[in-house]
A and B are shown apart, each in its own frame.
Chain A
Amino acid sequence: MDLKKFKIFFDIDKEEQWLNDMLSKGWVCTKINSAGFYTFKNTADLEQVIRIDCQQDLRKEKRSNYKQLYEDFGWQALKETSYDGTFYWLKRKDGNDQLFSDNDSQIAKYKRLMKHSSNWAILSFIWFMIFYNNDNFSNFLHIKDAYFTPGLWDKEGFAFLFAFLFETPFALMRFIPPWLFLAAFAMYLVMYFRYRKSIQQFIQ
């Protein structure tokens, strides 16, 4: 039996916690989609653990080297490819259930996560600015301004309805992207500051 769930996380540690909570209830994650869809399968084996790692810039050869090493240590990848640099690792509990065994490597992990979120925050902001400059700013705040049909709002009855409905998809295409990129920017900014806070527990 499969269970599908949709969830968005601002923090890799919270996501890991949730996946392990699901495991302790007998649901092992089998598929993760970058958009936030998780597929779970029922399992009787409760003695398993999931850890999330973040590694950017793993090109082909490096990636197979990375995977081989983790597999040698008994970890099994939940996802074959990673577009955002996150890797999900599953294994049976055997007392060595962490991915990192010293402070330096814990700090390095959070630094990678901070770099990742700040890069995406900057990129989202650039995209936001591109959309913002593309049309004028007012249609970013007022959806009415996203309709370009001359005299649309003076029309009445069917003429209005037709013109309105006809342009709505285009208006939404003008209206939504800036908000989407602004939301993404805010999300990555929040993530950045969360990781910056998480790193503190490893720095004296």
Chain B
Amino acid sequence: MKKHKLLPLSETMHYILLALREPLHGYAMMQKIEEMSAGSVRIAAGTMYGAIENLLKYHWISPVETQDTRRKVYQTTAEGLEILATEQQRLQRILSLYEGADGFEKV
């Protein structure tokens, strides 16, 4: 199978998909991600806009209807959650290697 263009997920994409398990608009996403990453990831406006467009293109997130007519709110789709699940497996494998799995030296 040909690898998807966005895989493995970049740090930005990872945090956005994780943050959007609850519906949020762009700026709220940035704030939430800053909090989730303990202040280490602060996504800039242009990067946020481009990432949203990209994720919408692959239907990993979708717009959610709200009362706010000016700001668009998004949420991770079922497809997006599947992507997160496969990424979790990939990262768990790497983490287990860090922790010395299968007789490999612990880092």
Contact = CB atoms under 8 A, between A and B. Distances in A.
Interface of A: 53, 64-66, 68-70, 72-73, 75, 89, 96, 98-102, 104-105, 108-109
Contacts of A100: 44, 46-47, 50
B10 interface: yes
B43 A69 contact: no
B70 interface: yes
Contacts of A53: 46
A56 to B, nearest CB: 12
Contacts of B27: 69, 72-73
B72 interface: yes
Interface in B41-82: 42-52, 70-72
B49 A101 contact: no
Residue of A65, A75, A101 with highest tally of chain B CB at under 10 A: A101
A59 B17 CA distance: 26
A72 B72 CA distance: 12
Given A69-B26, A102-B12, A75 B45 contact: yes
20 contacts: A64-B70, A65-B72, A66-B49, A69-B26, A69-B48, A70-B45, A70-B49, A72-B45, A73-B27, A73-B44, A96-B44, A99-B44, A99-B47, A102-B10, A104-B12, A104-B50, A105-B44, A105-B47, A105-B50, A105-B51
B41 to A, nearest CB: 8
A99 B70 contact: no
A104 B10 contact: yes
Interface of B: 10-12, 25-27, 30, 42-52, 70-72
A101 B12 contact: yes
Nearest to A55: B49
Given A65-B72, A102-B12, A108 B50 contact: yes
Contacts of B11: 102
A113 to B, nearest CB: 13
A66 B72 CA distance: 10
Residue of A69, A70, A100 with highest tally of chain B CB at under 10 A: A69
A69 B70 CA distance: 9
Contacts of A89: 45
A79 B7 CA distance: 36
